């Protein structure tokens, strides 16, 4: 466990420092960029975990709770089954809950931030569905069905958020009733003038070899 923890401690500063400015091309972190980087759950680190880190690496960080002061709690896919039609969306729901809880704790859970988080949730679901593609890369019926279910989840998340904004928490979408403790019942923070919202990019930390770090 100590070895894996060390691996993640190394990994997170690498990914945090690799976070690009808008419209820039991701570049590898340099030792100079890593100097002075802390491993606290500040907005920069949270955004990296939410928007820039691959799902595998996010789940590794979540498994040992690093950074320790982040809120890693989750009730899974609170608005519907975690595994609809045989598709396991649990990990995507874990990251979605993480994003809501930690941006809320940082007082930047605005309507704009929530939309970006929800779009990132859909991207995570689509990435999960890619495993059902054929060898040639073309869609097959199972991948298409997975994406349709993913679209339904995204629409439901967006709709429940709008019901909350309209003061109608606990409403019903597609026959599903939201639990009162769901993150989708969170109150939005006031808009922040000039708030910087990370773009939803494809995760680019694939060059980070966790196995190699663990053996270092």
Please identify every residue annotated as catalytic: 96
Instruction: Return the closest-CA partner of residue 104 out of 189, 175, 173.
Output: 189
Query: What is the C-alpha separation between 25 and 35, in angstroms, rounded?
Result: 21
**Token digits for 9?**
């401690």
What whole-number distance in Å separates Cα of residue 196 and Cα of residue 199?
9
CA angle centred on 54, ends 103 and 16, rounded to 5°:
55
Quote the tokens at residue 101: 């809880």
Partnered with residue 176 across adjacent β-strands are 173
Residues in the chain: 216
- At residue 9, the 3 state secondary structure works out as helix
């Amino acid at each position: 466990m100590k070895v894996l923890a060390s691996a993640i401690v190394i990994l997170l500063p690498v990914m945090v420092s690799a976070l690009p400015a808008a419209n820039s091309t991701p570049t590898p972190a340099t030792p100079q960029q890593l100097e002075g980087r802390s491993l606290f759950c500040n907005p920069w680190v949270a955004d990296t975990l939410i928007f820039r880190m691959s799902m595998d690496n996010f789940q590794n960080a979540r498994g040992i709770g690093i950074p320790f002061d982040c809120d890693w709690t989750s009730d899974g896919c609170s608005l519907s089954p975690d595994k609809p039609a045989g598709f396991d969306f649990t990990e995507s729901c874990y990251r979605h809950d993480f994003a809501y809880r930690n941006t809320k704790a940082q007082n930047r859970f605005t309507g704009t931030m929530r939309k970006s988080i929800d779009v990132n949730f859909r991207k995570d679901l689509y990435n999960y569905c890619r495993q059902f593609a054929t060898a040639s890369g073309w869609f097959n019926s199972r991948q298409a069905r997975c994406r349709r279910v993913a679209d339904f989840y995204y629409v439901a998340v967006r709709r429940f958020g709008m019901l909350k904004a309209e003061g109608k928490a606990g409403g019903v979408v597609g026959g599903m009733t939201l639990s009162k403790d769901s993150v989708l019942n969170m109150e939005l923070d006031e808009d922040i003038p000039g708030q910087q919202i990370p773009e939803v990019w494809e995760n680019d930390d694939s060059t980070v070899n966790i196995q190699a770090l663990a053996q270092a």
